[in-house]
Structure 1
Amino acid sequence: MSAELNIFDGRIVMRGALTARELGPLWERAVRASAAAAGARLILDLSAVQRLDSSGAALLLEMERRHGGEVDIAGADDAARSLLAQLRAVARPPEPSPVSPRGKTAGLPGFIKNWRTRIAFFGETLLSFIALPANLRLLRRSDFAAIADRAGMRALFLVLALGYLIGMILAFQSAVPMRQFGADLYVADLVTIALCRELGPLLVAVILAGRTGSAYAAELGTMRVNDEISALVTMGINPTVMLVLPRIAAAMLVMPALTVAMDASGLAGMASVLAAFGYPLSAITSHIAILTAPGDFLQGLAKGVVFAAAVALIGCRAGLTASGGPRAVGQAATAAVVGGIVATVVLDGLFAIILYRLHL
């Protein structure tokens, strides 16, 4: 029997089968009728309903919501009432944003909520990494190779060009004051230490945040908006293991290579400037080898790996927490870039304090 709807003053009588197959023509009319009765008590009479499935129960709850007032459901059997109770239990009403007395969104609760989300995501990622041996089947080598290629090889030219220019700029700017003391050759040591310990990993991390972090956020944000993440969860697949861990591992893997490329190109730029000043290449290389230690280079590599992990983690977090339609993808990419750069600078400051206290 098809579904029917009769409207009386303060009462809506439903008849027939309220099932997914029969509700199509009836849905809009029922919702409009319940909305039109807003402001008065409404009775939904189900005494003539023969069948009720989850779609019919969802219609009744939507009618209650659109009415917005007191709604009584009459004539429902125990099975219908149980189904309605179950749907009400899982239905989540939209949470109102905290509003200040002036009508603006309160900043502190949102700030605390964002930090709770970040900490929770970090903890979930850590637990997924610990449980990785039991979920190795979720990792795909082809995807990992493609992610590493996009994060590393396709950024190599940009890293080399930027490194060469930074080396030249540092050499030119350092040569001016050093020449006053007749110590032009010590520009090589200055630029080498600055690149290997600080600027090399820091600049590569900024490039990684701009390219890779934003790409991670855009990819995962699009999957989130299109409900692909929800589909993975429904199938029992942990999206953190399948999507987040390979991206973090790929960023950490390519970061040392990019840092070495940045250092080498920067030293090449510095050497070209000193060669223009009349210093032979042999004198430059021997001076660098004597006055710089391997620890300077290794510190930069260690920093770079930590920076890459932070950038990738922030990018994935921004993508997986995106919500609100296509605009959320752009917002997630912006948040990934800004968050990655800020986290890199903060971590670099912490490294500076720790290394100073350790006299390294």
Structure 2
Amino acid sequence: MHAEDRKIIHVDMDAFFASVEQRDNPALRGKPVVVGGERERGVIAAASYEARKYGVRSAMSSVLAKRKCPSLIFVRPSFEKYKTVSCQIREIFFEYTDLVEPLSLDEAFLDVTEAKKGKPSATLIAREIKQRIKEVTGLTASAGVSYCKFLAKVASDVNKPDGLFVITPDRAEDFLNELDIKKFFGIGRVTAEKLNKQGIYKGADLKKMEQGELIRQFGKAGAYYYKIVRGIDDRPVVPSRERKSLGAENTFLTDYVELDDLTEQLLKIEAEVWRRLQRSQSYGRTLTLKIKFADFEQITRSRTVADLIKTEEHLHRLAHDLLKNELPFVKGIRLLGLTISNFPHEEKGPVQLTIEF
């Protein structure tokens, strides 16, 4: 297969940590929110788009962030929650391809050249993935589509937030020629400043530099710069094949406290988990129930069994027992979630399906 025949998607969640906090706490929506410590030596882990308007960015010191935006709201990070949402998003990716390369909790590359679902284009797949993420998590994502990882990564940043940008092979050269050096993934601030001092501000300027000169100045990175400015990036999407968990959850429009109401809602979540188990043909031994109350207190309860959870009846019985064991509920519940984990090491790897385009 020619490199330009590949179909690569880069999905990047929008202000992920901060967006999760705003989703779960309506009082934070529309306000400048950062995830991180407010202490003197604190560092910002994520900033909402409202905070970014003031110049607040991730990795910025909390002191400087507060100076830029005195009304800034600090939220302590909840990484277990972010991991749970990340797993939900990962399961959506697996609906379309097994070639998923996570870069972090909030972004990943997908190779959809031979996708599981019969969509005619990677662009349509990316649009559907964005829609599925919104439906399942209530969050927005931005996606970039191209024939290589570098261009897909750059493209996902073009129309943020909630963006979708496509760079086809015939548009790549013009796009790269006009691209600001500072926006080249892999060229950091110090390198960009060094290039600017040499009169290099855009891709077209960088393309004029000889490969030998780039290597002399920047070592191995110089060879990388020489290739990417020409749209050459043959790196494959390397999937992470180890499945650590699989689950689903739902945030309710109203708070529930009665067992009948909660059971009805839990059945819907069980059905989604079972659908994902069957699709992935992955079965684990541990079931975890997550309960989030109206005051945002969150608890989890788990049960590990000797045999794999391989029937819908087994899943239902375990989930119902975990829920009943917490009775009575003295405050309303706004979210329930179920996660399967503890998969056997001998689990078979995924099978790549092919379709005609």
TM-score by shorter chain over 0.5? no
Range class of TM-score, shorter chain: under 0.3
TM-score, reference length from structure 1: 0.21
